Each structure stands twice: as C-alpha cells, then as structure tokens.
Amino acid sequence: MVEYSTNLKDLSKDLRRLAERDQEAAIRAARRTAFLDAHRCVQWSLRQIDKTQRPFDTGDYARAWAAEKTPEGAIFYSTASPAVKAGVIELGRRPGTGIPLDPLARWVKRRLGIHDESKARSIAFLISRKAKARGRRGLFILKRAHPKIAAAFAENLRRELHRASLEGR
C-alpha cells in the first residue's frame, strides 16, 4: 500500500499555532474539504502522465479514485482492484521479476483481441520477459499530487480557523 500523509509539523508556524489553539475547527476543516481537494489533485496528477506511460486496458485504476460527501464532511479513497496493481502503477517494478503469465495472457486476449490461447500465452511470455529484464518505471501519481493536497489542506485549514476565530469573538 502506498500512503502519504500531512502532519501539523508540515504547516507554517502561524497556521500550526492556530490549529493547536482551536483543534475542533482544524478537524472540521480537514473533514469538510480536504478529501475533496485530494481527489481533485489526484485526478490532476493522473492527467499529467505522459500518454506513452499511461497504464492502459480497462481504466479501472483512474476510475477507482473517489471522493464522497458525508454528513461529517467527506471521504477520499481508492478502490483499485487489486491493490497490488495500484502499487506497481505508483511505485513501478524492479527488473528481475516477470509478470505472472495467466493474468497477462488474459490481458493480451482482451487488449489485442486474440482468441487463440497458445498465441496469447506466447505474447504474454514475451511481455513478461521484457518486464523481467527492464522493470517498469513508477508513475508516482500520489507523490506528485501530495504537495498540491498539502497546500489545499493548509488553505482550507487557514480559512476554517479564521472563520472559527471570527465566530468566537
């Protein structure tokens, strides 16, 4: 699993002081908009990938990112199935390990429209051998989106804390 996080220590000193002073408002700010902003930033990062590097087939990885509004605010998650696929897309794959042939052969049949099982397996074998020799460069979708997510979070937090301080007067 790939995970990035933002901590209060990552915020500017003045914003950190405000957040520590009014923790309830800080939590409300995070719940209200941070996850929707995270979804927007990940979608931006997905669009930035060079077309030659984009994973292709069903598009389930890109569609797996979702943000939903809830009564408490919002949630942001990925339903990438399987999660291993998301890890390989995000971080890449080192040379030295081939791709399992059966799932790859099914992909070859689906993607290339080949109906002959033996031909699909032979193509899958060649693809697996190339992956074993070269590996796959990671796309770092979340890593690229993280600074934008952190900036959006800080801005939302600043706005919410300012609103809370005005209401508290």
Give the mean model confidence (pLDDT) for residues 6-19: 67
Count the neighbouring beta carbons within 10 Å of the beta carbon of residue 46: 18
Q: 85, 33, 31: which is closest to 63 by C-alpha?
A: 85
Per the structure block, which two tokens stand in for 99? 């791709």
Phi-psi domain of 57 (left: phi exceeds 0; alpha: psi -120 through 50; beta: other)? left
pLDDT at 117: 95
120 class by beta-carbon count within 10 Å (0-12 exposed, 13-18 middle, 19+ buried): buried
pTM of the model: 0.63
CA separation for the pair 71, 81 (Å, rounded): 27
Give the model confidence (pLDDT) of 86-129 as tens digits: 778 888 888 988 888 998 999 899 888 999 999 999 999 999 99
Q: How many CB atoms lie within 10 A of CB 86?
A: 22
Strands 136-137 and 92-93 come out as: antiparallel
Q: Which residue has the tokens 């005005």?
A: 166
Rounded CA separation 36/4 (Å): 16
Q: Is it the case that residue 78 has pLDDT exceeding 70?
A: no
Does residue 29 surpass a pLDDT of 70? no
Q: What is the DSSP letter of 70?
A: E
Contacts made by residues 74-77, CB under 8 angstroms, sequence distance 24+: 74/31, 74/32, 74/33, 74/34, 74/35, 74/36, 75/35, 76/35, 76/36, 76/38, 76/39
